[in-house]
Amino acid sequence: MKVLFTMTVLAISFFYLLSTYAPGGVAPVADVGNSDDGIAGFWIGLLHGVFIFVYFPLSLVFDGVAIYEVNNSGSLYDIGFFSGIVYIGIAFSGVFFSVYES
């Protein structure tokens, strides 16, 4: 029962994080003005890069889902986005390319 509770809490936390930091893709840059409140930086870019394997299939099915944030800080967001993609690629490379001995 304790394991089921832990897995439920982790799943809810994962989906909350996934939905909270999803790329918007619909707000134009002109609406931001001089404030940095709505601009995604390095860390948000990193999260978007890590979650790209979830967002990409969803973006093919649903029109409102984007894989890249339009309101970003430029180079810092791009570096974070690419770093997230590389990180998740390295993390999954062991799963797909490992050789198991019997």
Q: What is the pLDDT of residues 25-73, one digit of tens each?
A: 444 444 444 445 667 788 888 888 888 888 888 888 888 778 888 888 8
pLDDT for 18: 63
Segment 5-28 mean pLDDT = 67
Q: Which residues pair with 72 in a beta bridge?
A: 40
Kindly state the greatest CA–CA separation across the chain: 61
Q: Is the CB of residue 83 less than 8 Å from the CB of residue 46?
A: yes
Q: What is the pTM of this model?
A: 0.63
pLDDT for 82: 92
99: pLDDT strictly greater than 80: no
Segment 89-93 mean pLDDT = 79
Beta strands in 28-98 (DSSP E): none
